[in-house]
């Protein structure tokens, strides 16, 4: 009921108002902490049954359900997906499905027991302008795709890392968590970049062939919240990612796709531009888009056999999960950002505290445009080693070492 689950409640209630869905039951182990929310969502008037244990909820209600929404902490996704699919039901599973490539394979196997595939809720794959632009890319209008870059700076206050017991954790109870900006909050954009670099099908994602990465932390947490990652895909497209939460001020994010005849610039929710090499600029207005309402609708269409596939299946998430795991393998350790570059920023209006890295914008630009790694340019760390999918066998050991186990 809390965190992003609250947003799902709001979206499902809106669809229920329109007669497009009906919420049968919900659960949260901290159900008593959400009395105000339960009143706001009018759960009693709507006849929604409320449980504190998801197993009791599934036992009591599964015969009356078409799908189960799982917007819970990442480390619970696999067990909940397994319990739901064992009952023959599909899942609207929040992204990331898991951040452990081996667990993802188990989830893909579990999903095959159900007639309909589960959806992984990466928000932006179904955006109409994105799909239209990818169709044009595949038709060859912009020439061959050579590379793509993602830059994202999303400030997160100190309180973000203490909002629950899994934020910033690499492992919990000997299980992989790997919470980070790359694997969690900005995972949408990483998955989007892989989507631009996919194969010849519309719904396809570039597969990482070789990855190099440098991972950093500024906050006193176990995991990494500043990532520099480069991969070549199996089809030879070079992708660079520079992401951080160690910043203050306004949030920025930009997906850029570099083609022979044009550069595509895509800023979710704000701006879409095609900058042609001949000097023309084509602007495409982003449409108003409620990610949750629209993703629920899109998934319902698939469940009613009105569309051929969900936007992202578990198998479609392989590229993202493997890239995340290879980035950790390549980096080998999480380096502290030199203290001289980090300062505290108090935002009085919000009453929140941020850490800001003074050269974060320049470090991102140097990496994305020139391929210059921060470790060799003032951030004082050894470069990451090249990691390929053949190295995944070492992944669990490397994460354990990173977590000091
Ligand atoms: N799509 C998006 O834009 C978006 C945005 C934010 C978060 N998310 C995703 O949503 C998921 C949840 O993230 P969060 O930050 O809201 O997490 P959270 O820790 O706030 O947990 C969400 C809710 O799950 C409940 N929960 C915990 N254990 C449970 C259990 N055993 N059974 C039932 N409920 C349980 C918690 O009490 C809480 O109310 C993650 O996968 C995250 O990546 C997606």
Predicted confidence (pLDDT) per residue in 47-96, tens digit:
999 999 999 999 999 999 999 999 999 999 999 999 999 999 999 999 99
* Cα–Cα dist 373/384, whole Å: 10
Ligand 1 atom nearest to 77, measured from its CA = 41
169 CA to middle of ligand 1, Å?
A: 15
Asked whether residue 194 is domain-assigned, the answer is yes
Mutate to test the pocket of ligand 1, among 1, 2, 4 (most ligand atoms within 8 A of CB): 4
Segment 358-381 mean pLDDT: 97
Q: Closest Cα partner for 134 from 123, 149, 145, 146?
A: 145
92 CA to middle of ligand 1, Å?
A: 13
Domain count, the chain: 2
Question: Is residue 374 located within the same domain as residue 265?
Answer: yes
5 CA to middle of ligand 1, Å?
A: 6
| Residue owning the nearest CA to atom 6 of ligand 1 | 4
Segment 292-315 mean pLDDT: 98
* Cα–Cα dist 241/147, whole Å: 11
Which of 88, 121, 154 is a domain's end point?
Answer: 121
pLDDT for position 201: 97
* Cα–Cα dist 340/69, whole Å: 45
| Ligand 1 first shell, C-beta below 6 A | 1-5, 27-30, 54, 71-74, 76, 94-95, 121, 123, 164, 184
What phi, psi does 220 have (nearest 5°)? Answer: -85, 75
Tell me, what CATH number does 253's domain have?
3.30.360.10
288 CA to middle of ligand 1, Å?
A: 25
Question: Is residue 74 located within the same domain as residue 155?
Answer: no
In this structure, the strands spanning 342-347 and 208-217 are unpaired
How many other CB atoms are found less than 10 A from the CB of residue 350? 10
Segment 310-328 mean pLDDT: 98
Question: Is residue 319 located within the same domain as residue 384?
Answer: yes
The domain of 61 spans 4-121
Question: Is residue 98 located within the same domain as residue 240?
Answer: no
Question: Is residue 146 located within the same domain as residue 282?
Answer: yes
Asked whether residue 297 is domain-assigned, the answer is no
Segment 365-382 mean pLDDT: 97
Residue 305 confidence class, pLDDT cut points 50, 70, 90: very high
pLDDT for position 137: 98
Structure tokens at 225: 């919240």
Question: Is residue 10 located within the same domain as residue 59?
Answer: yes
Are the beta carbons of 103 and 178 closer than 8 angstroms? no
Percentage above 70 pLDDT, the chain: 100
Q: Closest Cα partner for 234 from 105, 326, 117?
A: 326
Ligand 1 atom nearest to 2, measured from its CA = 39
Question: Is residue 228 located within the same domain as residue 266?
Answer: yes
Q: What is the DSSP string of 205-220?
A: -PPEEEEEEEEEE-SS
Asked whether residue 302 is domain-assigned, the answer is no
Which of 121, 141, 175 is a domain's end point?
Answer: 121
8 CA to middle of ligand 1, Å?
A: 10
Question: Is residue 219 located within the same domain as residue 366?
Answer: yes
Q: Closest Cα partner for 78 from 317, 305, 297, 298?
A: 317
203 CA to middle of ligand 1, Å?
A: 27
* Cα–Cα dist 229/25, whole Å: 41
Asked whether residue 100 is domain-assigned, the answer is yes
Percentage above 90 pLDDT, the chain: 98
Structure tokens at 121: 């809720």
Asked whether residue 309 is domain-assigned, the answer is no
Q: Residue 32: CB partners within 8 Å, gap ≥ 6?
A: none
Ligand 1 atom nearest to 74, measured from its CA = 41
| Residue owning the nearest CA to atom 38 of ligand 1 | 2
Which of 77, 100, 121 is a domain's end point?
Answer: 121
Residue 40 confidence class, pLDDT cut points 50, 70, 90: very high
pTM: 0.98
> For residues 70, 161, 155 and 353, what is the CA-based torsion angle, rounded to 10 degrees?
140
Segment 153-176 mean pLDDT: 93
Asked whether residue 295 is domain-assigned, the answer is no
Question: Is residue 117 located within the same domain as residue 246?
Answer: no
HSE (CB half, 13 Å, CA atoms) of 318? 17
pLDDT for position 405: 87
Question: Is residue 170 located within the same domain as residue 204?
Answer: yes
74 CA to middle of ligand 1, Å?
A: 7
Asked whether residue 308 is domain-assigned, the answer is no
CA torsion sign for 95, 100, 103, 109 is positive
pLDDT for position 346: 96
| Residue owning the nearest CA to atom 32 of ligand 1 | 28
> For residues 256, 386, 214 and 220, what is the CA-based torsion angle, rounded to 10 degrees?
130
Question: Is residue 14 located within the same domain as residue 84?
Answer: yes
pLDDT for position 287: 86
pLDDT for position 255: 98
Mutate to test the pocket of ligand 1, among 71, 95, 163 (most ligand atoms within 8 A of CB): 71
Mean pLDDT across the chain: 97
| Residue owning the nearest CA to atom 9 of ligand 1 | 94
94-126 tens-digit pLDDT:
999 999 999 999 999 999 999 999 999 999 999
Question: Is residue 9 located within the same domain as residue 74?
Answer: yes
* Cα–Cα dist 111/147, whole Å: 33
CA 323 from chain centre, in angstroms, equals 12
Segment 318-340 mean pLDDT: 97
Asked whether residue 306 is domain-assigned, the answer is no
Tell me, what CATH number does 70's domain have?
3.40.50.720
């Amino acid at each position: 009921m809390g965190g992003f689950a609250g947003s799902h409640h709001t979206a499902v209630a809106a669809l229920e108002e329109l007669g497009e869905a009906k919420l049968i039951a919900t659960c949260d182990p901290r159900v008593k902490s959400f009395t105000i929310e339960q009143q706001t969502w009018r759960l009693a008037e709507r006849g929604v049954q409320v449980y504190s244990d998801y197993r009791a909820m599934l036992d009591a209600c599964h015969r009356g359900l078409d799908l189960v929404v799982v917007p819970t902490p990442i480390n619970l996704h696999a067990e909940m997906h397994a319990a739901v699919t064992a009952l023959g039901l599909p899942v609207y599973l929040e992204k990331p499905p898991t951040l452990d490539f081996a667990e993802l394979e188990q989830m893909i196997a579990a999903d095959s027991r159900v007639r309909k595939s589960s959806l992984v809720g990466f928000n932006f794959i179904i955006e109409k302008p994105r799909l239209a632009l990818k169709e044009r890319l595949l038709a060859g209008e912009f020439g061959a795709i050579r590379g793509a870059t993602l830059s994202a700076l999303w400030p997160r206050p100190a309180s973000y890392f203490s909002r629950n017991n899994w934020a910033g954790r690499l492992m919990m109870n000997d299980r992989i968590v790997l919470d980070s900006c790359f694997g969690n909050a900005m995972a949408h954009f990483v998955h989007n970049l892989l989507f631009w670099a996919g194969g010849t099908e519309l719904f396809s994602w570039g597969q990482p062939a070789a990855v190099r990465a440098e991972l950093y932390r500024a906050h006193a947490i176990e995991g990494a919240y500043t990532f520099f990652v480069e991969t070549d895909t199996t089809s030879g497209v070079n992708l660079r990612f520079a992401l951080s939460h160690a910043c203050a001020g306004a949030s920025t994010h930009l997906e850029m796709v570099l083609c022979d005849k044009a550069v595509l610039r895509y800023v979710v929710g704000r701006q879409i531009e095609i900058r042609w090499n001949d000097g023309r600029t084509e602007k495409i207005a982003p449409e108003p888009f409620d990610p949750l309402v629209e993703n629920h609708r899109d998934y319902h269409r698939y469940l009613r056999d009105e569309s051929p596939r969900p936007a992202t299946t578990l198998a479609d998430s392989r590229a993202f999960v493997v890239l995340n795991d290879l980035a950790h393998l390549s980096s080998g350790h999480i380096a502290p950002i030199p203290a001289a570059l980090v300062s505290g920023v108090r935002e009085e209006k919000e009453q929140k505290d941020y850490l800001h890295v003074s050269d974060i914008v320049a470090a991102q630009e140097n990496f994305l445009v020139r391929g210059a790694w921060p470790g060799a340019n003032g951030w004082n760390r050894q470069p990451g080693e090249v990691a390929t999918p053949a190295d995944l066998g070492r992944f669990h050991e490397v994460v354990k070492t990173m977590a000091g186990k």
